[in-house]
Amino acid sequence: MVIVKRKELSLAEKLYLPEVVRGLSVTFRKMFEKPITRQYPEEPLEKTEVTRGQPRLVVKEDDSIACVSCGLCEAACPAYAITIDGGETDRAIEREPKRFDIDMLRCILCGFCEEACPKDAIFMSDELELADYSREALIYNIEKLKRPQAALQQRIDYVKKINTRWQTPSST
């Protein structure tokens, strides 16, 4: 049996009124303190390298994307948001996606695709706002997912830095 020991109340506490006045004084003082509200659309969120927004495909200098449609991100995606159809090209790296769709309504911004990607093709951007008038418009295809490397550079550098942890050879 659990015996809860209750605090013995003093007379002033039992009378309740002094405590009420104390409480009132607390709330009155708090009224003049600075509010912590962020007026969101006017004051946007601070975005740092660890901000994990929606996934985007990196466009390299030669206007191509690094994706070889291996399907690892598709397999890693816990929300089944990614759909890839592979295709061939004449380039040295001969595979590229014919279709690369991310259903933004399913995406949970977990970043598993970024982690799974062996070609550094997909990265989490700092874009967080997502609104449209239809469900179809929120299924993003390759063209909508493409972002220049410069826009994602901060995140790319960060992910590379984190990944060096696994790349250093272990002595054991």
Partner 1 sequence: MIEWSVLLAWIVKATVIYLGLVNVGALMTLAERKFSAWMQYRIGPNRVGPFGLLQPLADGVKFIFKEELMPAGANKMLFRFAPVIAALPSMMTIAVIPFTTKDVVLGGWNIGTFSIVNLDIGVLYILALGGLSVYGLIIGGWASNSKYSLLGGLRASAQMISYELTLILTILAVVVMAGSLDLQQIALSQNKVTDWNIWYQPLAFLMFVVATFAETNRHPFDFAECEPELVAGFHTEYSSMKFALFFIGEYSAMTVMACLTTTLFLGGPSVPFLEDPHWALQIAAFLAKAGFFLFLFIWVRWTLPRFRFDQLMALGWKVFLPLALLNLLATGVVKSLV
Residues that bind partner 1 (CB under 8 A): 17, 20, 23-24, 26-28, 30-37, 39
Tokens of 85: 């159809």
Q: Which residue has the tokens 């929120």?
A: 138
Min. distance of Cβ 22 from partner 1 in angstroms? 10
Q: Answer positive or negative: Cα dihedral of 76, 52, 162, 99.
A: positive
Q: Region of 29 please: left (phi>0), alpha (psi -120 to 50) or beta.
A: alpha
Q: Which is nearer to partner 1, 24 or 130 (CB)?
A: 24
Q: Which is nearer to partner 1, 17 or 92 (CB)?
A: 17
Q: How far is the CB of 7 from partner 1 (least distance, A)?
A: 17
CB of 33 to partner 1, least distance (A): 6
Please, which residue, 13 or 88, has the CB nearer to partner 1? 13
Q: What is the nearest approach in angstroms of partner 1 to the Cβ of residue 6?
A: 16
Handedness of CA 85, 88, 91, 95 (dihedral sign): positive
Question: Element (H or E) spanning 22, and its range?
Answer: helix 17-30
Give the full edge-to-edge strand order of the sheet including 95-103. Answer: 82-88, 95-103, 139-140
CB of 8 to partner 1, least distance (A): 19
Residue type, position 143, single letter: E
Q: Nearer to partner 1 by C-beta: 23 or 44?
A: 23
Nearer to partner 1, 4 or 36 (CB): 36
